[in-house]
Amino acid sequence: MKDILIIGGGAVGAFVARKASSYNLKVSVIEACQDVGDVTSMANSAIVHSGYDPVPGTKKAIFNVKGNRMFPQVCKDLDVHFEPIGSLTVALNDAQYQMLLPLLERAKENGVPAELLSAEQVKAMEPNISPKVKGALLCPTAGTVNPFTLVAHAMENAVDNGVKVHLGEKVIGIEEKDGIFVVHTTRRDHEAKVVINCAGLHSDEIAAMVEPIDWSIKPRKGEYFVLDHYAKGLVNHVLFPLPSEKGKGILVTSTTSGNYLVGPSSEWDDDKEDFSTDAPTLANVKEQALMMVPNIPFREQIRTFSGLRATPSTHDFIIEPSKKYPNFINCGGIESPGLVSSPAIGEYVIDELVSKVLPLEPKESYNPKIRPYLHPATMDEQELNALIRKDPDYGIVVCNCEKVTLGEIKDCLSRSLPPQTVKAVKKRTRAGFGKCQGGFCQPKVVMLLAKHFGCSPADILYDNQGSEIIAKEAK
Amino acid sequence: MEHKDLVIIGGGSAGMAAAVAAYDAGIKDILILERTEFLGGILNQCIHNGFGLHEFKEELTGPEFLTRFVDQVKERGIAYELEANVLSLSKDKVVTYLSAKGKTEIQAKAVIMAAGCYERNSGAIGIPGTRPAGVITAGQAQLYLNEFGYMVGKKVFILGSGDIGLIMARRMTLEGAKVLGVAELMPYSNGLNRNIQQCLKDFDIPLYLSHTVTKIIGKEHLEAIEISQVDEKMRPIPGTEQRFDVDTLLLSIGLIPNNSILDQAGAIPSSTRGSKVNQNMETSIPGVFSCGNVLHVHDLVDYVVEEGRQAGAAAAAYLQGKEGKSEARIECVPGNGIGYVVPSWIDLEQAGDSIPLKFRCRKPSKNVYISISFNGKEIKKMLKLAMIPSEMEIMKLPKNLLDSNQGKLEVSLVAKGE
Amino acid sequence: MEHILTCIVCPRGCELHVDENFNVTGNSCPRGAIYGAQEIRDPRRTLTTTVKCRGKLLRVCPCKTSGTIRKGDQFRIMEIVNQTEVQPPVKMGQLLVSNIGDTGVDLIATREINE
């Protein structure tokens, strides 16, 4: 019997689990994918929003602003790359400039530092901005984060503090019996006193397993371009156009790894499993982005992708117990600004909601810090050479494009929540993220995983079940 | 900091040929830095034959060809380090690399860049549809098969008629896979004619010219692809879609110079995505040379080694102070029908008697003159019965045809009769 | 009847015309003439492949037939190749299968594998 069962290992699930692990509780997480943070938490803009734009008083506004304030410490504790580069919401004509004024007011109301900049100020900060720029709203507390390690490290920290994670397990039914939930999955049954539904795109389906609900999740697709790091200095802030009813619009930003991200589009989708991209949508993304930054070097494109936002019918985050069961807590509709909100959601769910149904007793051994990862690329020579003398694997480069060493990959594999798939290795170490997209290093990663898990390379998955890279042994 | 006369980045065909040529010209203090476990570069996985007809007058497999260069390197006692990954090169020629020894900085007097190229992949072209397992570059499938002994799929389609794709069509067919076809965006093949014959026709594999993949289908793993015919502007034509149920899509859609080290060092980039060089393969950074596929993608390894030797000899001349300093330059530019020209500059005072010009045509052309004009005046003309973009042309330009150390040299195609 | 084929003896890929008496035109070199006539009479290919070889870094060893084999024999010979295993160290040119499948040519290693 678990005290808490968390359904879903995305950003919200990971931060709920991490907070839960600070108390003396038996906590398990079940995740349908072969890795944590594998769906919406992975395919998004990776922005730590300042919180100037949600309607004041909404859960989006409250959790965004609180999460933003927590972010520097969270990223320090979890060894996650966070770049507080600030955001500019850019007006390209007079009408748009007029629209910045109410946004400035809204920022003030939400308690978010913001400042209106003149065209000249924007041009000085962003040399590649469209000459049509009329001004911008600067939000200095916005930033970018590595969304892959954010979730992986938060969950690893939870595991370090006693949480169990079950990957590749999908919930197929939930029963309530005398105040206890029995959660049936594709692998086994779990019994828990409290269930926390963090199932992202599928949170409405999970919620509906215990009672009829009056809300739903509709996927809203966003398609993106990723550019290689060569265009250094292309943009220095997260650049947004004016927000509209379709969302925050097509942004241009650097990422924590020095790449550039252009997107997302915003289209309703009926299929929660549809991660395809299409040419007309991407062409439109390109066109929109070029209006703001006319010389984006699209020849440096190294990948296109799409993500699905878990858009709720209620227009706000749903973070509350179910109507019937105070010990069944729904976290649904966590679309943007979900990533930045997730640490604050984790705290709220445990301290304010779970506390009403379970006694919370702080765990003495709780350590909010992860065992630091080593980053040979940013070490000084002396420090690096000392490390390589101790472990020569830190001198062997596996991924040539991103300069990821064998030592870093082996370190990941030795941790409490080791990557099991090629994509999981990629998300944690960046091996395969560069311009050759794993052309040179993927076979090496496959062989390493096979050796580590004692299986055949033909069993190694790229991502989820069915994504084997190798069909068969030829000889 | 260690010091070396010459550091060569990349121990493939170009790098080894450059090392041998520099050594034979009198430079003994050489270090080759190779990022993989073997000298020889990509030829290690090119186990098919057809290499070396120019160089050795016989037909060799890739590993046989490269072994002859490894032997030349070893006979001379030229130093090399394996699993040595170059992190950066500075303008004053400090090479920083990482290996099991640690992070090492070497002050080089001259540097030759010979890091080869990488494959264009699905990310770069953004094929519409999903991104499942089973869509991989032909070279990656070749590595899995030829060094590790694993087949990536059983039912295969190939996008792009580049030579690696054609070679893999035959290779996977012989290993028991069914290759359903090859789609090529252009109205002509990008591979060598003989590979169309011996890799596709020999095995009745259809080649779909003016076709491209318009959809990737499959959630976790590739299940099918859709190809469509394209119009003259290379836009898919609705209604021409054909579906193929395959578990693998190999991409053979071009190679890109792996030139990030020189780009970051500040060498002036060229349209080939390599760096601009002069007739001695010297980049805009004095004493830094570039050769082989990192400069521009070659069709034959025989030409790669020739270029490597040219760079090696030029680096030796530079180190021996034989190369003078001259600011005057002739700029070489592609004219009508030509994609690019290497070198980008000619410095007449430093040039040998004959200057090799390398270039490719933009589209297949028959009965055309290759015309070389200098400052608006035609100085050389040569009739070609047939030219195709997949073949690199080399034309040796006698130095004495150039009457000035400044101006513009243009290579263009002129139809016969014009 | 005239046959038109693409020469494969070198990367140039000449278009060869071969008449009923095996006279070849369109070739740029004598090797092309020999190939053209041979291709019509009895097409032959050099087979390049790999054999099982469990080394430290490599799991297969590249190899080739020491001469050409009948084009139609390639799949039959692949079956023999796939049952062949060699232990490292392997020398370049090392004999792996002599007179493979009674073709009159040998299967030889094309790479040195030390460990």
* CATH number reported for the structural domain that contains residue A297 in this entry: 3.30.9.10
> How many residues are present in chain B?
418
As a whole number of angstroms, the distance between CA A320 and CA A330 comes to 6
Q: Which residue in C has a C-alpha nearest to residue B302's C-alpha?
A: C11
User: Is A475 near chain B, with CB under 8 Å?
Assistant: yes
Interchain CB contacts (distance < 8 Å): A and B = 146
Q: Does B133 contact A at CB distance below 8 Å?
A: yes
Does C88 map to a domain?
yes
Test mutation, B94, B117, B148, B212, chain A, max A CBs within 10 A: B148
Verify that B114 and B68 share a domain, yes or no: yes
- Residue A250, pLDDT > 90, answer yes
DSSP B191: S
Calculate how close chain C gets to B321, using CA atoms only, in Å: 39
pLDDT at residue B418, as a whole number: 57
User: Is A30 in the same domain as A137?
Assistant: no
Verify that A110 and A222 share a domain, yes or no. yes
Asked whether residue C69 carries a pLDDT value surpassing 70, the answer given is yes
Q: Are residues A347 and A253 in the same domain?
A: no
Taking an 8 Å cut-off on Cβ atoms, the answer to whether B149 and C52 are in contact is yes
Is A465 an interface residue toward B (CB < 8 Å)? yes
Q: Are residues A222 and A94 in the same domain?
A: yes
Q: Is the pLDDT of residue A184 over 70?
A: yes
Partners of residue C10 in chain B, C-beta under 8 Å:
53, 194
Query: Does residue C114 form part of some domain?
Result: no
Residue A322 lies in a domain: yes
Residue numbers in A near B151 (CB within 8 A): 470-474
What dihedral do alpha carbons B6, A232, A144, A425 form, nearest 10°? -40
pTM of the model: 0.94
For the four alpha carbons of A151, A155, A156 and A157, in that order, the dihedral sign comes to positive
Domain that holds residue A416: 376-459
* Pair (A387, A435) in one structural domain: yes
Q: How far apart are CA A181 and CA A192, in angstroms?
A: 5
Query: Would residue A190 show up in a list of annotated catalytic residues for this protein?
Result: no
Above 0.90 for ipTM, yes or no? yes
Residues A92 and A204 in one domain: no
Which pLDDT belongs to residue B326?
67
Of B308, B323, B338, which closes a domain?
Answer: B323
d(CA A229, CA A240): 20
Specify whether B207 is located in the same domain as B91. no
Domain co-membership, A30 together with A125: no
- Tell me, yes or no, whether A109 and A136 share the same domain: yes
Residues B134 and B248 occupy one common structural domain: yes
- Pairing of the two strands B330-334 and C60-65: unpaired
Lowest mean pLDDT: which of A315-319, A409-413, B49-53? Answer: B49-53
Query: Do residues B170 and B230 share a domain?
Result: yes
Name the residue with tokens 């090797």.
Answer: C31
Query: Out of A388, A466, A474, whose CB is closest to B221?
Result: A466
Residue C55 and residue B172: Cα distance in Å, rounded?
22
Residues A299 and A222 in one domain: yes
C103 and C64 fall within a common domain: yes
Range C67-95 average pLDDT: 97
Arithmetic mean of pLDDT over chain A: 96
- Of C10 and A60, more confident: A60
Asked if B305 and B404 sit in the same domain, the reply is: no
Which has the minimum average pLDDT: B34-43, B248-257, B301-310, C36-45?
C36-45
Residues C9 and C33 in one domain: yes
Q: Are residue A212 and residue A235 in the same domain, yes or no?
A: no
Q: Does the pLDDT of residue B122 top 90, yes or no?
A: no
Average pLDDT over residues B331-352: 94
Contact criterion met (CB < 8 Å) for A230 and B129:
no
Question: Are residues B370 and B384 in contact, defined by beta-carbon separation less than 8 angstroms?
Answer: yes
Number of domains present in the structure of chain A:
3
In angstroms, rounded to a whole number, what is the distance separating the alpha carbons of residues A206 and B274?
53
Domain C-terminal end among A309, A327, A345? A309
Q: Is C77 found in the same domain as C56?
A: yes
Is residue C105 located within the same domain as residue C68?
yes
Q: Does C26 reside within a domain?
A: yes
- At A152-176, the pLDDT tens digits run 999 999 999 999 999 999 999 999 9
Split at pLDDT 50, 70, 90, the class of A230 is: confident
C-alpha C68/C-alpha A319 separation (Å) is 73
Q: Which residues of C touch A474 (CB under 8 A)?
A: 50, 60, 82
Residues from chain A that touch C52, judged by Cβ atoms under 8 A, are: 475
φ/ψ of B41, rounded to 5, equals 60, -145
Q: What CATH number should be reported for the domain holding residue B335?
A: 2.60.40
Selecting from C13, C46, C57 the residue whose C-beta is nearest the C-beta of B193 gives C13
Among B301, B323, B345, the domain-final residue is B323
- The total number of structural domains that make up chain B: 3
Contacts of B35 in chain A (CB under 8 A): 397, 400
Portion of chain A with pLDDT greater than 70, in percent = 100
Rounded distance, CA A323 to CA A319, Å? Answer: 12
A391 & A336 share domain: no
Residues found in chain C? 115
Half-sphere exposure of C51 (CA within 13 A, CB side): 25
Looking at the complex, report in whole angstroms how far the Cα of residue B162 sits from the nearest Cα belonging to chain A.
Answer: 16
Based on the fold, state whether residues C24 and C56 are members of the same structural domain: no
Rounded (10°) angle between helices A147-160 and A59-77: 70
What is the C-alpha to C-alpha distance for residues A286 and A280, in angstroms, rounded to an integer? 10
Q: pLDDT by residue (tens digit) across B195-240?
A: 999 999 999 999 999 999 999 999 999 999 999 999 999 999 999 9
Residue B266: how many other CB atoms lie within 10 Å: 15
Residues in chain A: 475
Among residues B274, B296, B323, the one where a domain terminates is B323
**Domain membership of residue C71 as a residue range:** 48-109
- CATH code where residue A342 lies: 3.50.50.60
Residue A357 tokens read as: 């149904």
Q: Which domain holds residue B152?
A: 121-253
pLDDT digits (tens, 9 = 90+) for A404-459: 999 999 999 999 999 999 999 999 999 999 999 999 999 999 999 999 999 999 99
Residue C115 lies in a domain: no
Q: Spell out which residues of chain A touch residue B175, defining contact as CB-CB under 8 Å.
A: 474
Q: C-chain residues within 8 Å CB-CB of A475?
A: 50-52, 59-60, 82
Domains contained in chain C, number: 2
> Coil, strand, or helix at residue B203?
helix
B260-311: per-residue pLDDT in tens?
A: 999 999 999 999 999 999 999 999 999 999 999 999 999 999 999 999 999 9
A258 touches chain B (CB under 8 A): no
Cβ distance of B53 and C10 shorter than 8 Å: yes
Tell me: pLDDT of B417 over 80: no
Q: What CATH number corresponds to the domain at position C82?
A: 3.10.530.10
Residue A397 predicted with pLDDT over 70: yes
CATH of the domain at B179: 3.50.50.60
**Is A130 within the bounds of a domain?**
yes
Q: Say if C52 falls within a structural domain.
A: yes
Residues B244 and B261 in one domain: no
Chain C environment of B202 (Cβ under 8 Å): 45, 71
Tell me, yes or no, if A472 comes closer than 8 A to chain C by beta carbon: no
More confident residue, A270 or B416: A270
Identify whether A363 is part of a domain. Answer: no
3-state secondary structure chain A: CEEEEEECCCHHHHHHHHHHCCECCCEEEEECCCCCCCCCCCCCCCEECCCCCCCCCCHHHHHHHHHHHHHHHHHHHCCCCEECCCEEEEECCHHHHHHHHHHHHHHHHHCCCCEEEEHHHHHHHCCCCCCCCCEEEEECCCEEECHHHHHHHHHHHHHHCCCEEEECCCEEEEEEECCEEEEEECCCEEEEEEEEECCHHHHHHHHCCCCCCCCCEEEEEEEEEEECCCCCCCCCCEEECCCECCECCCEEEECCCCCEEEECCCEECCCCCCCCECHHHHHHHHHHHHHHCCCCCHHHEEEEEEEEEEEECCCCCEEEECCCCCCEEEEECCCCCHHHHHHHHHHHHHHHHHHHCCCCCECCCCCCCCCCCCCHHHCCHHHHHHHHHHCHHHHCEEECCCCEEHHHHHHHHCCCCCCCCHHHHHHHHCCCCCCCCCCCCHHHHHHHHHHHHCCCHHHCECCCCCCECCCEECC
The verdict on a CB contact (< 8 Å) between C60 and B64 is no
- Domain assignment present for residue A73? The answer is no
Chain C contact partners (≥3 CB pairs within 8 A): A, B
Write out the H or E segment, with its range, that includes residue B170.
Answer: helix B163-174
Tell whether B128 and B225 lie within a shared domain.
yes
**pLDDT value for A475:** 85
Higher pLDDT, B143 or B53: B143
Interface of B with A in 165-184 (CB under 8 A): 175-176
Q: Is C26 exposed, middle or buried (0-12, 13-18, 19+ CB in 10 A)?
A: middle
pLDDT tens profile A31-79 = 999 999 999 999 999 999 999 999 999 999 999 999 999 999 999 999 9
On whether both C63 and C88 belong to a single domain, the answer is: yes
- Best B37, B46, B144, B147 member to test C by mutation, with max C CBs in 10 Å, is B147
Is the pLDDT at C67 greater than 60? The verdict is yes
- Mutate: best of B82, B212, B220, partner A, most A CBs <10 A: B220
Q: Do B98 and A400 touch (CB under 8 A)?
A: no
pLDDT digits (tens, 9 = 90+) for A339-349: 999 999 999 99
Give the gap in angstroms from C-alpha A458 to the nearest C-alpha of chain C: 14
* Residues C61 and C101 occupy one common structural domain: yes
Q: Looking at chain C, which residue has its C-alpha nearest residue B299?
A: C11
- Residue B353, helix vs strand vs coil: coil
Q: Is residue A70 part of a domain?
A: no
CA angle A113, A119, A124 (to 5 degrees): 85
B374 and B405 assigned to the same domain: yes
Q: Is residue A470 included in any domain, yes or no?
A: no
Q: Which of C16, C27, C48, C84 to mutate to test binding with chain B, by most B CBs within 10 Å of its CB? A: C48
The two three-digit tokens of residue A80, written as one number: 């996650």
Note the pLDDT of residue A151: 98
A249, A381: one domain: no
Do C58 and C18 share a structural domain? Answer: no
